[in-house]
Amino acid sequence: MNRESAKQLVLTDRFGRTVDYVRIAVTSACNLRCTYCLKEDAPTQTQQLDVVETSKLIALLAGMGVRKIRFTGGEPLLHPSIPELVRIAKATPGIDTVCITTNGVLLDRQLDALVEAGLDGVNLSLDTLDREKFTSITRRDRFEQVSKALDRLLATPSLTVKLNTLMLRGINNDEIPAFVELTREHDLTVRFMELQPFDDHQIWRTGRFMGAERIRERLADAYPELEAITGHSTEHYSFSLPGHRGSIAIIPAFSRNFCSSCSKLRITADARLISCLYHHESIDLAPALKGEMNEVELKKRIIEAVQQKPKDGLKSSHDTAASSMSQIGG
């Protein structure tokens, strides 16, 4: 199938939403222990997707209408073949965009290989620009590596760069201006994000939650000249500032949901296909990827998952969501 014919295919759910974006958690391993995600003593036993099996799956998904692949984790750069996976995905007919979401610890040493492989964009998870706070939040002293990675990203014009900054009341909310200042000279998007109820410690219940409206108020107070712009579908508020090259966004990941426009599927590091962030229900793709069923049956499983997508996952979740974002790759 060539690229043009692949583009004619569209995967839709029972509510008419187009599903064209798949997040693939290539490994469940992570080299940080962020307080809002993993316990310090989280299990060290991890899962990892096979390169050959993953490439087959990407080709199949592209043939069904998927256009964007994002590699996540865990920490995707811990997968030994992540540049190869990027290269494979980018070369797959029908796939237009390949991105990663990373904590940046290993990014400096791998960035050249990833760019050469065709990577289109990087979302860097960075909650603070202060080394002591970074160590407190992540429980690892890796700030220098991440800071260097950010500098490298900002000097790589071929990449679309976004910072994912989780707002923690009383911890990093005083750094909003420092993050905004990054957009003055650099063409990146700083995205301030709400906590979500997917963490082993349930920190979101302890008063650290900072809602999108409060974030917006802080921004407006500090920058009265904010101009509203149109951002990505999950960026409920998007702004630019006069004289700034980049942009600012707020993602109300908990106080609002984006189910009505959801275009995503998620594949976990143990090859489970998840159609909704808020549900435990999944379809095991492992037998198909290991050759225990044919391609027709695998397509049926994928279509089944798409048709299971609820109209409003948050309202219908009934506490069945995963306990940790590390389980589902964000």
On whether 152 is known to bind a ligand per the annotation, the reply is no
Q: Is 14 annotated as a binding residue?
A: no
Q: Tell me if 158 is assigned to a ligand binding site.
A: no
Enter the DSSP assignment of 155. Answer: T
30 annotated to bind ligand: yes
Given a contact cutoff of 8 angstroms between Cβ atoms, the answer to whether 146 and 104 are in contact is yes
The answer on whether 63 is annotated among ligand-binding residues is no
36 appears as a binding residue in the annotation: yes
Provide DSSP, 52-114. Answer: HHHHHHHHHHHHTT--EEEEESS-GGGSTTHHHHHHHHHHSTT--EEEEEE-STTHHHHHHHH
DSSP for 196-221 reads -S--TT-GGGTT-B--HHHHHHHHHH
Q: How many CA atoms lie within 13 A of 10 on its CB side?
A: 8
162 is in an annotated binding site: yes
- SS3 percent helix, strand, coil of the chain, rounded to 5, is 35, 20, 45
Q: Which residues contact 37 (CB under 8 A, 6 or more apart)?
A: 30, 198, 199, 200, 324, 325, 326
Cα dihedral 53→45→268→73 (10° resolution): -100
**Side chain identity at 310, as an amino acid letter?**
P
Is 56 labelled as part of a ligand binding site? no
Q: Is 121 exposed, middle or buried (0-12, 13-18, 19+ CB in 10 A)?
A: middle
Task: Mention every residue, 6+ apart, whose C-beta is less than 8 A from residue 186.
Answer: 154, 161, 245, 246
Q: Per the annotation, does 74 bind a ligand?
A: yes
From CA 131, how far away is CA 171, in angstroms rounded? 13
For 103, other C-beta atoms within 10 Å of its C-beta total 27
Query: 131 among the known binding-site residues?
Result: no
Residue 99 annotated as lining a ligand binding site? no
DSSP annotation string for 266-281: EE-TTSEEES-TT---
Alpha carbon distance, N-terminus to C-terminus of the chain? 31
Annotation: binding site: 23, 30, 34, 36-37, 70, 74, 101, 125, 162, 259, 262, 264-266, 276
Annotation: binding site for [4Fe-4S] cluster: 30, 34, 37, 259, 262, 276
Annotation: binding site for S-adenosyl-L-methionine: 36, 74, 125
Annotation: binding site for GTP: 23, 70, 101, 162, 264-266
